[in-house]
Amino acid sequence: MRGVTRDLVRPVARTVPWRALGAAGGVGLLLAAAVRWADGPPPSTALLALRCAALTGGLGLASLLDDPARHTTAAVPVPRPVRQALRAALVAPPVALWWAAVLLLVPADLRPPAADVTLEAAAVSLLACAGAAVALRLTEGTRPGRAVAGALLAAALTGPLLLPDRWTLLVQPADPRWAASHDRWAGLAVATAVVWALSAREPLRRGRP
């Protein structure tokens, strides 16, 4: 099994949608660079740029589990959770590097607490992946990324409008609710990771062709 997994690295790496990830990463870097080059933006703009960059990361990662060959690979001996984990492991180092670059591009005096913003970005990324995994589990589609990206964008737009004040996620560092909101971000990250893990199994339905 372990040997098979090692042999899988190369084919799985070939199916990871690097172009979508690269485009999303480029836009994220552009956002952070815009803050660096802007003429004395307030810290709230820097935070907004980092959150938008995290969102672009999420949009890119929504395509991570897109697999045109999913129906063919349903029968292979390596189970789907292993293959999804392999994909995640393959993109994790470049994504971490990218996020570090985004953080470093924002001038230090404008940068919000890095650990907390990283937690937000991680939660958004996990949300995107979990959404894709749920879509794969519940539907027959091979490329759920586009719909998941649309849903993520919609959630990012309407979440701040619809979430009641006591569950708010998007606060400024000076706000007394910053710490509590990051507890919620951590909860969201854990919950989405659990959902992803639970939905990674191969959907085997009775009567499926």
Partner 1 sequence: MNTVVVEESPVPSAAAKGTGGPRGVAALARFEARRLLTSAPVVFSFAVYILWTVWRTRSSWDGFPALQDADRATQGGPLLVGLGVLLAADFAALRDRRRGTQEWFGTLVLPAGRRTAAHLLALLPVVLLTAVCVAAQFTWEALKPGAVGHGSPAELLVGPLTVLLLGAAGVLLARLAASVWAAPLLGVLYLFFLVLGTGPSGDTGGTAWLYPVVSTSGNSPFPSDLLGRPAAWHALYLAGVALCLAFLAVLVAARGRGVSARAGLAVALAMALTGGVAQSRGDSAELLAARERASAAPEKEQRCVTRDGSTYCAFDEWVPRADDWAGVVGRVRSLAGDPARDRPLLVRQRIEARYGLDSDSAIPASTRRHQVTVGTAWGGNRVPEFSAAVAGVLVAGSEAAAAELCDGRMVTVMWLAVGWEDDPMGTLRRVRLDDSVEGAAVVLAPTDPLSMTAGQTDVVRRLLEKDRDGVAAKARAHWDELTSPGVTTARAAELLGVPGPEKADSCEE
Asked if 172 touches partner 1 (CB under 8 A), the answer is no
Asked if 71 touches partner 1 (CB under 8 A), the answer is no
Residue burial 56-88, b: 16+ Cβ < 10 Å; e: rest: bbbbbbbbbbbbeebeebeeeeeebbbbbebbb
Cβ(67)–Cβ(142) below 8 Å? yes
Half-sphere exposure of 40 (CA within 13 A, CB side): 0
Nearer to partner 1, 145 or 200 (CB): 145
In the complex, what is the shortest distance from the CB of residue 76 to partner 1, in angstroms, rounded to a whole number?
Answer: 25
In the complex, what is the shortest distance from the CB of residue 60 to partner 1, in angstroms, rounded to a whole number?
Answer: 7
In the complex, what is the shortest distance from the CB of residue 78 to partner 1, in angstroms, rounded to a whole number?
Answer: 28
Nearer to partner 1, 24 or 117 (CB): 24
Q: What kind and span of H or E run contains 201?
A: none
Asked if 69 touches partner 1 (CB under 8 A), the answer is no
Exactly one of 8, 33, 52, 78 binds partner 1 (CB under 8 A); that residue is 52
Task: Tell me how crowded residue 161 is: count the other CB atoms within 10 A of its CB.
Answer: 6
Cβ-Cβ contacts under 8 Å for 3 (sequence gap 6 or more): none
In the complex, what is the shortest distance from the CB of residue 50 to partner 1, in angstroms, rounded to a whole number?
Answer: 11
* Residue 149 amino acid letter: A
The dihedral formed by the CA atoms of 64, 68, 74 and 77, expressed in degrees to the nearest 10: -70
Asked if 55 touches partner 1 (CB under 8 A), the answer is yes
Cβ(195)–Cβ(134) below 8 Å? yes
Asked if 36 touches partner 1 (CB under 8 A), the answer is no
Question: Footprint of partner 1 on residues 140-159 (CB under 8 A)?
Answer: 146-147, 149-150, 153-154, 157-158
In the complex, what is the shortest distance from the CB of residue 51 to partner 1, in angstroms, rounded to a whole number?
Answer: 9
Q: Is 176 exposed, middle or buried (0-12, 13-18, 19+ CB in 10 A)?
A: exposed
In the complex, what is the shortest distance from the CB of residue 30 to partner 1, in angstroms, rounded to a whole number?
Answer: 7
Which residues of this chain interact with partner 1, rule CB under 8 A? 19-20, 23-24, 27, 30-31, 34, 41, 44-45, 48-49, 52, 55-56, 59-60, 63, 146-147, 149-150, 153-154, 157-158, 161
